[in-house]
Amino acid sequence: MAPPAAKAVAGPRRGPKPAGPARLDLLPAAADLQAAIADWQTWLRDEKRASAHTLLAYRRDLNHFLTFLAGHLGKAASLKDLSGLAAADFRAWLAARAGQGLERSSTARALSSLRGFFRWLTKRGLAENAALAGLRTPKPAKSVPKALTAAEAGEVIDSVAELSEEDWVGKRDCAVLLLLYGCGLRIGEALGLTRGEAPKPGQEFLVVTGKGNKQRMVPLLPLVSEAISDYLAACPYGGDAEAPLFYGKRGGALGARQVQQRMRALRGLLGLPESATPHALRHSFATHLLAGGGDLRTIQELLGHASLSTTQRYTEVDVASLLEVYDRAHPRARTPARSR
């Protein structure tokens, strides 16, 4: 048998492999900046309670900026370099992102990440740069949440059990989707529930832990509680109070990908559009509440939105229904014939 070295040189020479994505643990930065970034991430995790997903997103945004800066400056940037950057340098980075075809929403988020890092550096006296504050944030294209109609949402809930050969799996999927549509939970919030957090018979509210570990209370429809009870009675897997509420077929915690696959199958079965995703059920929860006369502040609390402006997107979803609610509910909108 030929030794490993001989194998390594045998065969025709090939061109260099295409460069893969930059490793996030090898940021192109000088040692002092590397240390500052590590401290910043620790602060985000421990003080701000940022999730692992958020930390990775911030680090990815910073990696893109520092990679650009290394080419722009001709060297790995240091803390001193960051303090010396002019507005033109930041604009060059924004132009580079635009030239790469990156979405404006992505660039707006990256700029927000960068500003957050620079604010942290300033508070700790490590670097300061006023030029960044003067940059205008790119306005992302206005998007309106795509909700299902009430009839479509009902079909989804009624039909999901048909996709599973095992009875308990169908009941599980029905319970999960009802949490999204009946309570407005994010998919991660629903799948993050533990056995101990499962609603008890007659329970009227569910405590949900959302983004930033913030808790909120959402009303529990009897239909949702019953669906969860039916699933628990049929589920072959048990566990203590800290065990996951929802299990996959093999006994591990149910993942978001499996729920997304269920919705993909339902789109084919029911002829629904591509926008019919698990998150669309949460959009539908908010849209249907608003169309039924719910006020924005209440819906904001139910959804766990930090800002009312996020909730206000739903006002554009069903203008016709809102006008109907206004005409029915507002005293000045009533005609003399209807005002009795």
Residues of the chain within CATH 1.10.150.130 domain(s) are 25-134
**What is the architecture, at CATH level 2, of domain 25-134?**
Orthogonal Bundle (1.10)
CATH class (in words) of the domain with range 150-289: mainly alpha
Q: Which of the following is catalytic: 60, 146, 211, 267?
A: 211
- Output the CA torsion sign for 252, 256, 260, 263: positive
Kindly give, in sequence order, each residue whose CB lies less than 8 Å from that of residue 76, ignoring residues fewer than 6 positions away: 28, 29, 30, 33, 66, 70
The one-letter code for the residue type at 233 is A
pLDDT at 217: 87
Catalytic (active site) residue 330: no
Please give the sequence-ordered ranges of beta strands (E in DSSP) within the chain, or none if there are none.
Answer: 205-209, 215-219
pLDDT at 36: 95
The overall longest dimension of the chain from CA atoms, in Å, is 99
Among residues 320, 333, 327, 330, the alpha carbon closest in space to that of 287 is found at 320
Distance of CA 246 to CAs 26, 159, 213, 257, 315, Å? Answer: 37, 19, 20, 13, 33
Long-range Cβ pairs for the range 289-296 (8 Å, 24+): 289/184, 290/314, 290/315, 290/317, 290/318, 290/322, 291/317, 291/318, 291/321, 291/322, 291/325, 292/325, 293/325, 293/329
pLDDT in tens, 211-258: 878 888 888 889 999 999 999 999 999 889 999 999 999 999 999 999
Q: Which of the following is catalytic: 72, 109, 249, 279?
A: 279
Q: Which of the following is catalytic: 64, 282, 283, 288?
A: 282
pLDDT at 302: 80
pLDDT at 8: 36
Angle at 38 between CA 104 and CA 134, to 5 degrees: 40
Catalytic (active site) residue 334: no
Catalytic (active site) residue 257: no
Q: Given pLDDT bands bounded at 50, 70 and 90, which one contains residue 21?
A: very low
Kindly give, in sequence order, each residue whose CB lies less than 8 Å from that of residue 257, ignoring residues fewer than 6 positions away: none
Q: Are 248 and 255 in contact (CB under 8 A)?
A: yes
Is the pLDDT at 263 greater than 90, yes or no?
yes
Residues of the chain within CATH 1.10.443.10 domain(s) are 150-289
Q: Given pLDDT bands bounded at 50, 70 and 90, which one contains residue 5?
A: very low
Q: What is the percent of the chain where pLDDT is above 90?
A: 53
Phi/psi for 12 (5° steps) reads -65, 150
Q: Are 203 and 220 in contact (CB under 8 A)?
A: yes
Catalytic (active site) residue 186: yes
Among residues 299, 340, 336, the alpha carbon closest in space to that of 317 is found at 299
- The pTM of the full predicted model, rounded to 2 decimals, is 0.55
In terms of residues, how long is the chain? 340
The one-letter code for the residue type at 287 is T
pLDDT in tens, 292-333: 777 777 777 788 776 766 666 666 555 544 455 456 565 554
Catalytic (active site) residue 279: yes
Is the pLDDT at 148 greater than 60, yes or no?
yes
pLDDT at 15: 39
pLDDT in tens, 100-140: 988 888 888 899 999 999 999 999 999 999 998 888 887 76
Q: Are 81 and 128 in contact (CB under 8 A)?
A: no
Measure the CA–CA gap between 304 and 327, rounded to whole angstroms: 29
Is the pLDDT at 26 greater than 60, yes or no?
yes
pLDDT (mean) for 249-277: 93
First to last CA, the chain: 99
pLDDT at 63: 93
pLDDT (mean) for 68-89: 94
Q: Which two tokens stand for residue 240?
A: 């203590």
- The CA radius of gyration of the chain, in Å to the nearest whole number, is 26
pLDDT (mean) for 275-299: 83
Catalytic (active site) residue 283: no
Q: Which of the following is catalytic: 171, 186, 262, 288?
A: 186
Among residues 121, 142, 135, 130, the alpha carbon closest in space to that of 62 is found at 121
DSSP string for 153-217: HHHHHHHGGGG-SSHHHHHHHHHHHHHHHHH---HHHHHT-BGGGSPPTT--EEEEE-GGG-EEE
